[in-house]
């Protein structure tokens, strides 16, 4: 295999741009710059790719259409590599020898169509004119692949600037060439789009996008020149023969680069079960929490039929879920032994979390025993809820772990169950439980609270408990319950007055 790098004379210039002949293929990298990975909130361990049709190539100075009925056409300034000699199974240290030239590219895409592509980008990035390249080629022999710079301007304003140094790229260009050559032959003239840095955003009709790739530290500071593309509005609507445009706020945020840039409100902060909130839930009885949830339209949040193994035991924590399916001999042989889903969950449960087990209400077999209970205790778990049985019941109780179950049973797991999967929606005691739901248990049973309602429901329950305690005092004093439980307007006014007086009495006195 020849490793000589050269720019074929017939490809050095063309009235349609620097590529005189259409390449056999265009391969594009999904994510390659650290700045872009930071913007997207994900950092891949290895490069991934998609193909663009060669019909998407366009010359510098051209126009690109935003399709009719779409909103989110985005630019991506990139370094394009042009293969000079075929590459198949080449090592990283020789990969750059197979690159003939580099130039500027704009990897345009319509985010409105990404939903249908599942990462292939056929619809979103494959349209005619969506891969402009040029205007000039830089000889790869004369430049250091780690010494390039890519810049993008929109309407004259610099919006992207990054280099190809080791700190900038997740995957050096030689690694990308070597990796691709493991899977397919890179042929002379093929083009590789190497990913875009942070700063990619949305453009609208009338905008002018310019991309330039240069080697500022190389002799003569060679440059591709500016690749100029003007956005125009398309007027041909999509037909009903296939997938059409569809957008949501997630796509808007990714297309614009951030929620703020897209004019969207910030994402709500993720729910955290703080110590203060957990303490409120410990003071709030399950019966009261259930009543408050019912007032908010949630009546199917009780895990039916489970009781604490130790009288007076309580639990508060976020759900981790474990699902068992009915026993079947071949499935148990494949999934029941070794490091199965049950063992993985008890090894993975975190401090303050509650393992919720779907056992279909089947009490003819245990769903955990003393060793797993001990493991959960050591991990700091808040407890276990299962609508099945518990083996080694007294030993489980002795671990101190709060376990709510249907009661003891001596049989092992494989009698009725196959451990199947973890951290999925489960049905436990007739209630649906999602990973991350908040689970609260006491002598009355177990209730499941959606995270977004936890603080509201906890505060309302404690307020109701305070009122109920006052009502109980009135009943104990001899008052009939009619009109008092629940309080009518007269009794409520008395309660509010008593509450105000109590607060005043407890507040510090003003200094004289």
Binding site per annotation, positions for substrate = 369-372, 391
CA angle 89, 95, 101 (to 5 degrees): 130
Closest CA to 120 of 249, 44, 28: 28
Which residues are CB-neighbours of 5 under 8 A, at least 6 positions away?
A: 84, 85, 96, 97, 98, 99, 100, 140, 141
Query: What CA–CA distances, in Å, run from 126 to 26, 109, 129, 273?
Result: 10, 8, 8, 46
Closest CA to 340 of 307, 362, 299, 372: 372
Task: Give the CA-trace dihedral at 484, 487, 491, 495, to 10 degrees.
Answer: 110
CA angle 18, 21, 27 (to 5 degrees): 80
Query: What CA–CA distances, in Å, run from 482 to 429, 474, 478, 486, 490?
Result: 36, 12, 12, 8, 12
Q: Do 366 and 327 contact (CB within 8 A), yes or no?
A: no
- Mapped onto helix, strand or coil, the DSSP state of residue 446 is strand
Query: Which amino acids are annotated as binding site for Mg(2+), given as ranges?
Result: 392
Is the sign of the CA dihedral 317, 321, 326, 332 positive or negative?
negative
Cis peptide before 486 (omega within 30 of 0): yes
d(CA 438, CA 293): 13
Task: Give the CA-trace dihedral at 39, 229, 159, 27, to 10 degrees.
Answer: 30
Which residues are CB-neighbours of 201 under 8 A, at least 6 positions away?
A: 74, 75, 154, 159, 255, 256, 257, 261
d(CA 31, CA 195): 6
Strand-strand pairing, 403-405 and 383-386: parallel
d(CA 49, CA 458): 48
Q: Do 62 and 135 contact (CB within 8 A), yes or no?
A: no
d(CA 330, CA 334): 6
Query: Which amino acids are annotated as binding site, given as ranges?
Result: 369-372, 391-392
């Amino acid at each position: 295999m020849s490793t000589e790098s050269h720019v074929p004379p017939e490809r050095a210039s063309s009235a349609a741009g620097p590529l005189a002949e259409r390449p056999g293929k265009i391969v594009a990298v999904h994510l390659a710059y650290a700045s872009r990975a930071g913007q997207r909130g994900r950092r891949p361990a290895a490069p991934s790719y998609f193909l663009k049709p060669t019909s998407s190539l366009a010359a510098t100075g051209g126009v690109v259409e935003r399709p009719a009925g779409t909103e989110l056409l985005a630019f991506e300034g990139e370094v394009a590599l042009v293969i000079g000699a075929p590459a198949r199974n080449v090592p990283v240290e020789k990969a750059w020898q197979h690159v003939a030239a580099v130039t500027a590219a704009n990897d345009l895409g319509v985010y409105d169509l990404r939903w249908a592509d599942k990462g292939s980008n056929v619809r979103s990035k494959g349209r005619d004119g969506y891969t402009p390249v040029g205007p000039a080629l830089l000889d790869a022999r004369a430049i250091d692949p780690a010494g390039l710079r890519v810049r993008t301007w929109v309407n004259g304003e610099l919006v992207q600037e990054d280099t190809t140094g080791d700190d900038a790229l997740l995957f050096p260009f030689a690694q990308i060439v070597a990796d691709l050559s493991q899977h397919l032959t890179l042929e002379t003239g093929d083009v590789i789009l190497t990913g875009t840095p942070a700063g990619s955003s949305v453009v609208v009709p009338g905008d002018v996008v310019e991309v330039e790739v240069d080697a500022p530290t190389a002799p003569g500071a060679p440059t591709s020149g500016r690749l100029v593309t003007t956005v125009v509005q398309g007027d041909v609507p999509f037909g009903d023969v296939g997938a059409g445009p569809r957008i949501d706020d997630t796509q808007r945020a990714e297309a614009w680069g951030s929620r703020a840039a897209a004019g969207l409100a910030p994402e709500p902060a993720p729910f955290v079960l703080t110590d203060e909130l957990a303490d409120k839930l410990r003071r709030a009885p399950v019966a009261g929490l259930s009543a408050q949830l019912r007032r908010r339209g949630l009546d199917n949040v009780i895990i039916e039929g489970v009781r604490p193994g130790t009288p007076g035991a309580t639990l508060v924590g976020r759900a981790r879920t474990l699902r068992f399916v009915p026993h079947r001999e071949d499935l148990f042989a494949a999934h029941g032994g070794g490091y199965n889903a049950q063992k993985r969950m008890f090894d993975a449960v975190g401090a303050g979390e509650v393992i919720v087990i779907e056992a279909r209400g089947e009490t003819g077999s245990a769903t955990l025993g003393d060793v797993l209970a001990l493991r959960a205790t050591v991990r700091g778990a808040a407890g276990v809820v299962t609508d099945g049985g518990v083996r080694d019941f007294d030993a489980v109780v002795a671990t101190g772990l709060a376990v709510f179950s249907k009661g003891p049973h001596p049989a092992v797991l494989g009698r009725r169950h196959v451990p199947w999967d973890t951290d999925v929606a489960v049905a436990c005691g007739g209630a649906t439980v999602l990973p991350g739901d908040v689970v609260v248990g006491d002598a009355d049973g177990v209730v499941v609270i959606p995270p977004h309602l936890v603080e509201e429901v906890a505060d309302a329950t404690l307020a109701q408990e305070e009122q109920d305690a006052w009502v109980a005092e009135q009943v104990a004093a001899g008052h009939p319950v009619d009109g008092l439980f629940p309080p009518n307007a007269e009794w409520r006014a008395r309660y509010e007055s008593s509450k105000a007086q109590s607060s005043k009495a407890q507040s510090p006195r003003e200094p004289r």
